[in-house]
Structure 1
């Protein structure tokens, strides 16, 4: 029996090592594909350089201590905050509502269940901590059972609280964040699609414009020359009248 229990850690370690190798292989393939597609531009992103550092350290022989760096890769998710302050007002509003509901429920639970389950609702601070556990789903059934053993109707309180906090407010919080990010990326795509394209000069049209300008200049010179000839050859009206009077 003891040998069977001793074999469990070894099997667990083998499974964990196998999963680690599979994940490392997937990370390496991801980096290679990104390098193949983006080329040198891949290195312009600091997060890509971070990935290279983490994966390179994990590939070094005898560098098992650096494998803990792979756990830091999820911090790349903070890039989603580039959506700016758009979802912040909604997040603050929903968070305030969640805090208010939790506080009111804590006051009510302390008054109702203090004598029934003092280990969970002995005072307001303990009640708030217990309700936080209920919201996260951490052993909330055991807490509810301990209270319902003394007061069966307590299930109404827990049901209403869980529905409001876990399903309504937390779902609303997630919806606000997702909506804000979706609007941000939609605006970015709209700006990119409506951006004016740089004007391109056509060599043929430029040559035609130059030739037309030269022709206009030549025509202007010819008109000016013709006017000079006319002014010289044709007498003016006053001179013509003087000639008639003299005759």
Structure 2
């Protein structure tokens, strides 16, 4: 009886806020320690302590993965974050004594991304961002067309005035990308403007279209998707997941009751048959 109730207890433990907060605390602490290891003086002084803590954190993350696999079974690998955790932990254990430990420490830092699924506002932003991917793709295609047109125009009119920046199409595209990021674009514009006053139209229109219009389109699409996400759905994701975990435990108990009822039925049938024979 106790052995079949045990998965329900583990499910409650794994889905409990205290367990999640403890794992997040370990993730943040592990990230801080890995960051401290980038300072040579600190790393040399506390190298032994850092190595021991790395093993402790790896043990904690391994236990987390084992518990979740035991509770969720096949459903564990249906979550992308769980797959990411499993790969990082498995690789950390497989290459624990190899020269790739430093790379795996960086991978463990990426576990900080798990905080996104725990913070509702971040979860809402990420959801709206993924919803905007198709529209952002169309905006990106439009931006490529704008860059190409302005690149050809720039290399046609300004190749002789500024061969470094507009000598050919590839150089023009790199220059336009630099202008779009506002990286020292004024020093690119001023020498050309001295010889070609009409270049002002070229630079102003490109900055207006490529930066202000396109950027606002992307931001507007993300904000629009964020406003379309039902707030109650986003806010209740964690509670729904907890309810699902509780339901799984109840299902296990119901299955156990069914098996016990079947056993009672068989016993009653045997008793009734024996009673008929004796009578």
Q: State the TM-score, normalized to the length of structure 1.
A: 0.51
Larger radius of gyration: 1
Number of the residue aligned with 1:91 = 136
Alignment of 1:43 with 2:22, yes or no, is yes
Question: How far apart, CA to CA, are the structure 1 residues paired with 2:112 and 2:133?
Answer: 22
- Alpha-carbon deviations, 1:9-43, whole Å to 9, x = none? xxxxxxxxxxxxxxxxxxxxxxxxxxxxx533313
Question: How far apart, CA to CA, are the structure 1 residues paired with 2:163 and 2:206?
Answer: 19
Alignment of 1:10-25 (within 5 A): none
Q: Secondary structure at the match of 1:162?
A: helix
Contact between 2:151 and 2:176, CA under 8 Å: does it hold in 1?
A: yes
User: Taking CA–CA contacts closer than 8 Å with sequence separation of 6 or more, which of the two structures ends up with the larger relative contact order?
Assistant: 2
Number of the residue aligned with 1:106 = 151
Deviation at 1:141, TM superposition (A): 0.4
Contact between 1:135 and 1:166, CA under 8 Å: does it hold in 2?
A: yes
Contact between 2:28 and 2:112, CA under 8 Å: does it hold in 1?
A: no
- Alpha-carbon deviations, 1:78-117, whole Å to 9, x = none? 9653457421111101111111111111011111111111
Question: How far apart, CA to CA, are the structure 2 residues paired with 1:157 and 1:138?
Answer: 17
Residue 104 to residue 73, structure 1, CA distance change in 2 (3 Å): farther
Q: State the TM-score, normalized to the length of structure 2.
A: 0.46
Number of the residue aligned with 1:149 = 194
Unaligned runs of 5+ in 2: 1-16, 51-104, 117-121, 244-279
Alignment of 1:53 with 2:53, yes or no, is no
Question: How far apart, CA to CA, are the structure 2 residues paired with 1:43 and 1:82?
Answer: 25
Question: How far apart, CA to CA, are the structure 1 residues paired with 2:230 and 2:27?
Answer: 24
Number of the residue aligned with 2:180 = 135
Q: Secondary structure at the match of 1:43?
A: helix
Question: How far apart, CA to CA, are the structure 2 residues paired with 1:102 and 1:116?
Answer: 20
Contact between 2:128 and 2:229, CA under 8 Å: does it hold in 1?
A: yes
Give the paired residue count: 155
Contact between 2:128 and 2:223, CA under 8 Å: does it hold in 1?
A: no
Contact between 1:87 and 1:181, CA under 8 Å: does it hold in 2?
A: no
Unaligned runs of 5+ in 1: 1-37, 199-247
Alignment of 1:193-212 (within 5 A): none
Contact between 1:95 and 1:173, CA under 8 Å: does it hold in 2?
A: no
Question: How far apart, CA to CA, are the structure 1 residues paired with 2:20 and 2:25?
Answer: 10
Question: How far apart, CA to CA, are the structure 2 residues paired with 1:43 and 1:156?
Answer: 58
Q: Secondary structure at the match of 1:152?
A: coil
Taking only aligned residues, the RMSD between alpha carbons, in angstroms, comes to 3.8
Contact between 1:120 and 1:130, CA under 8 Å: does it hold in 2?
A: yes
